[in-house]
Amino acid sequence: MNDSSRQTERKHGVKQTAMACQHVVRALDTMRPTEVGFHWAPSDKKRHPDAWCTGCDRALTAAGGEWTPALIERAGFRTLCPCCYEFLKLSTEPGVIVKSFRIR
């Protein structure tokens, strides 16, 4: 992903974009991010590294840890604003309960 990518997001305005699989992005609609999980490569040092769900993580592990064209298609990566990315990431951390989320 190009770190200079920007998007206008209805709720949070213009922000740098993050990437996440379609399953993680859909969790915003259902407000059930703990059901899909949230994973990223620890070696990726970007502030908002590409993220994927537990299902995609299992498929990635089964493929030997390499993103193949088939896995990329299955994941259906979408852009996500960093505010929503952080909400999803925090929402899936053990013991963390996010009652509200406010970005300044």
DSSP output for 67-80: --HHHHHHHT-EEE
Question: DSSP string of 14-38?
Answer: EEE-EEE-HHHHHHHHHT-HHHH--
Give me the pLDDT at residue 97, please. 54
Tokens linked to 54: 């537990």
Could you tell me if 87 and 97 are in contact, meaning their C-beta atoms sit under 8 angstroms apart? no
pLDDT in tens, 29-84: 776 667 788 999 888 888 889 999 999 999 999 999 999 999 999 999 999 888 88
Could you tell me if 20 and 78 are in contact, meaning their C-beta atoms sit under 8 angstroms apart? yes
**Model pTM score:** 0.74
